[in-house]
Amino acid sequence: MTLLDDSIHTRSAPADRPPLDRFDVWTDEMVDAAGIPLHDVPFVSVGGGMGSFVTVDYLRVAGGVPASDIRVLSNLSHPWQTYEHLTRVSQLPRQKRIRSDSASRPDNLWGFPSFAIQEAVARKSVKPLLQVLFEPVFADFYTPELDMVLKGIEREAHRIGYWDMLVQGEVRMVRRRAGGGYFTILENADGRTAFRSRDVHLAVGYAGLRFLPDMQAFRTKLNDFHHVVNGYEDHEHVYEVLRRRPGTVLVRGGGIVTSAVLERLITDRLKYGSQTQIVQLFRTYYDGRHGSHMWSRRPGRNGFAYQGFNYPKSAWGGQLKARMRRLEGSARAEVYDEIGGTTTAWRRHWQRNLAKARKGGWYHTVGGTIQDMRLDGDQMVARIQHAGGVNDLRVDYVIDCTGLDGDVSRHEVLKDLLQHSGATQNPLGRLDVERSFEVRGAGSGIGRVYATGAASFGGYFPGVDTFLGLQISAQEVMDDVARRGYCRRMGAGRSIAQWFKWANGRPV
């Protein structure tokens, strides 16, 4: 394909032609005739969140791709925007510690120096280093403070010229181009623009919040967004009301966000003397080690399944990663089943607070499901089905911490890709990708579409939706682009040189 220089062509659209959207494959003439301004760039990354950032960081630093050859198309103004929003509303302010470990550094593709080293130097303290030395057996996993992580990303974004690559707007679709490559349509205040590229990378995150059917029914039937909230949306009003008057909260889930919400409710009670009663509902209640084989037993207690990160640690580089990479179809689905499920981290201070709450008689756990929910005066009645039968529970609030919506058919761009560009879904319903994160079936001549992050879950690598997972995926993408001859490989010498540039904060 020919790549025009950065020029933009504008023509007015003739009224008598059928809209472009109806065609699966577009020619240059069709786009031209539709009057859509055209912009040429070899590599486009759609999303502009953490996945885009980490991928373009890899391409810039390791692949040696100039900023002028990359465009990030996004409705965000900075890559950590969605992440910071989600962490804040789910009770993780900047001074708290995130879930991932010391060497998961989205702002540094080597993971060295780790966050623990950085913190030790900044605070002039060996504590973070000792924690890494003793984790996870004699200490909790070291995890960095959110603030340090975000500042690092900001610094790295400046270093790689992120904002020179960013074009803000809403991406509508990606379509294959006759002759190879793709057109990506972006819409913003200036109207529509078509980006004509060789490759497209998709990192669009989640389609939205996930609500279990009963919650959804309650919210839509009664138009009530006050009593029933999702842990991933702003729900500060719940804590505010509970600090003013006694009440009962039903917390649903057993993951890391549940832990953060419980911690908030418990500390509000301990610190401000609120009189909140907490009931936690687990769909699956774990009370001990669980698993099918003596070599695969996960710890569990008081309802929770415990694990440092959202997958066993070896998913990001050890034997689990190596094993999954070789598995196909149902064998792979089986392993996903074995290692799947909601887990949270065992943290000593969380455990202490939970124990206090349990002892005080204001924190109870149940294993079961909600059959029905209705309003009764200013309260709600939740009908809970559990092992011992069915009970009605009167509560003031329900905080649902069961997650985000990863359904790819609910995302405009991904759905379009499935309908028009040959992409298919994997057994878990997400996009079917190769080991290189190329979307299967969506190739176009010399061009490729890559997908990383939540949309690629269910493939050869399970840890996709984490910082380290995004880096592993980015490395695969870069390796594939290099194999195809469109960027450089990074050998030991250049890697060391690039690392020194990073350490000195010099531009790539």
Q: Which residues bind ligand FAD (CB under 6 A)?
A: 47-52, 74-76, 82-83, 86-87, 90, 98-100, 104, 170-171, 203-205, 257, 412-413, 453-454, 465-468, 470
Q: Per rule CB under 8 A, is residue 99 in the interface with other proteins? A: no
**Of the listed pieces 65-73, 296-304, 346-354, 416-424, which binds other proteins according to CB under 8 A?**
296-304
Among 12, 295, 329, 387, binds other proteins (CB under 8 A): 295
Q: From CA 36, how far away is CA 16, in angstroms rounded?
A: 15
Minimum distance of other proteins from residue 295's CB (angstroms): 5
> DSSP alpha helices (H): ranges in 374-429?
412-420
Q: From CA 441, how far away is CA 422, in angstroms rounded?
A: 5
Q: From CA 249, how far away is CA 233, in angstroms rounded?
A: 16
Q: From CA 374, how far away is CA 65, in angstroms rounded?
A: 57
User: Do residues 483 and 476 lie in contact, with contact meaning Cβ atoms separated by under 8 Å?
Assistant: no
Q: From CA 40, how far away is CA 34, in angstroms rounded?
A: 17
User: Do residues 152 and 100 lie in contact, with contact meaning Cβ atoms separated by under 8 Å?
Assistant: no
Q: Per rule CB under 8 A, is residue 312 in the interface with other proteins? A: yes
Tell me 70's DSSP state: E
Minimum distance of ligand FAD from residue 105's CB (angstroms): 10
Partner in contact with 435, chosen from ligand FAD, other proteins, none, beta carbon below 5 to 8 Å by kind: none
Residue number with the smallest Cβ distance to ligand FAD = 49
Partner in contact with 317, chosen from other proteins, ligand FAD, none, beta carbon below 5 to 8 Å by kind: other proteins
Q: Per rule CB under 8 A, is residue 387 in the interface with other proteins? A: no
Minimum distance of other proteins from residue 7's CB (angstroms): 36
At residue 215, the 3 state secondary structure works out as helix
Q: Which residues 456-495 are close enough to bind other proteins by CB under 8 A? A: 472, 475, 490, 492-493, 495
Minimum distance of other proteins from residue 499's CB (angstroms): 5
Q: From CA 429, how far away is CA 423, in angstroms rounded?
A: 12
What is the per-residue DSSP string for 129-176? HHHHHHTTTTSPPP--BHHHHHHHHHHHHHHTTHHHHEEESEEEEEEE
At residue 279, the 3 state secondary structure works out as strand
Give the residue with the Cβ less far from ligand FAD, 285 or 467. Answer: 467
Secondary structure element (H or E) that encloses residue 386, with its range: strand 379-386
Among 90, 248, 276, 307, binds other proteins (CB under 8 A): 307
Give the residue with the Cβ less far from other proteins, 8 or 496. Answer: 496
Among 81, 314, 369, 379, binds other proteins (CB under 8 A): 314
Minimum distance of other proteins from residue 306's CB (angstroms): 9
Minimum distance of other proteins from residue 314's CB (angstroms): 4
Q: Per rule CB under 8 A, is residue 11 in the interface with other proteins? A: no
Q: Which residues 107-126 are close enough to bind other proteins by CB under 8 A? A: 109-114, 117
Minimum distance of other proteins from residue 471's CB (angstroms): 8
Q: Per rule CB under 8 A, is residue 270 in the interface with other proteins? A: no
Give the residue with the Cβ less far from ligand FAD, 87 or 277. Answer: 87
Give the residue with the Cβ less far from ligand FAD, 144 or 367. Answer: 144
Give the residue with the Cβ less far from other proteins, 117 or 428. Answer: 117
Sign of the four-CA dihedral 405, 406, 409, 412: positive
Among 64, 136, 208, 422, binds other proteins (CB under 8 A): 136
Minimum distance of other proteins from residue 307's CB (angstroms): 7
Q: Which residues contact 450 (CB under 8 A, 6 or more apart)?
A: 55, 199, 200, 201, 202, 433, 436, 437, 438, 439, 477, 480
Among 5, 29, 137, 271, binds other proteins (CB under 8 A): 137
Tell me 472's DSSP state: H
Give the residue with the Cβ less far from other proteins, 365 or 475. Answer: 475
User: Do residues 235 and 381 lie in contact, with contact meaning Cβ atoms separated by under 8 Å?
Assistant: no
Q: From CA 219, how far away is CA 211, in angstroms rounded?
A: 10
Q: From CA 498, how far away is CA 64, in angstroms rounded?
A: 10
Q: From CA 410, how far away is CA 413, in angstroms rounded?
A: 9
Partner in contact with 98, chosen from other proteins, ligand FAD, none, beta carbon below 5 to 8 Å by kind: ligand FAD
Q: From CA 417, how far away is CA 326, in angstroms rounded?
A: 27
**DSSP collapsed to 3 states, 244-278:** HCCCEEEEECCCHHHHHHHHHHHHHHHHHCCCCEE
For residue 124 the two structure tokens come to: 């002039």
Minimum distance of ligand FAD from residue 322's CB (angstroms): 20
At 318, phi and psi to the nearest 5?
A: -95, -150
Mark residues 57-76: x for contact with other proteins by CB under 8 A, - for none: -----x--------------
Minimum distance of ligand FAD from residue 426's CB (angstroms): 17
Partner in contact with 316, chosen from ligand FAD, other proteins, none, beta carbon below 5 to 8 Å by kind: other proteins
**Of the listed pieces 230-238, 319-327, 382-390, 413-421, which binds other proteins according to CB under 8 A?**
319-327
Q: Per rule CB under 8 A, is residue 299 in the interface with other proteins? A: yes
Give the residue with the Cβ less far from ligand FAD, 202 or 242. Answer: 202
What is the per-residue DSSP string for 306-350? B-SSSS-GGGGTSHHHHHHHH--HHHHHHHHHHH-S--B---HHH
List residues near other proteins by CB under 8 A: 62, 103, 109-114, 117, 132-138, 291, 294-299, 307-308, 312-314, 316-322, 472, 475, 490, 492-493, 495-496, 499
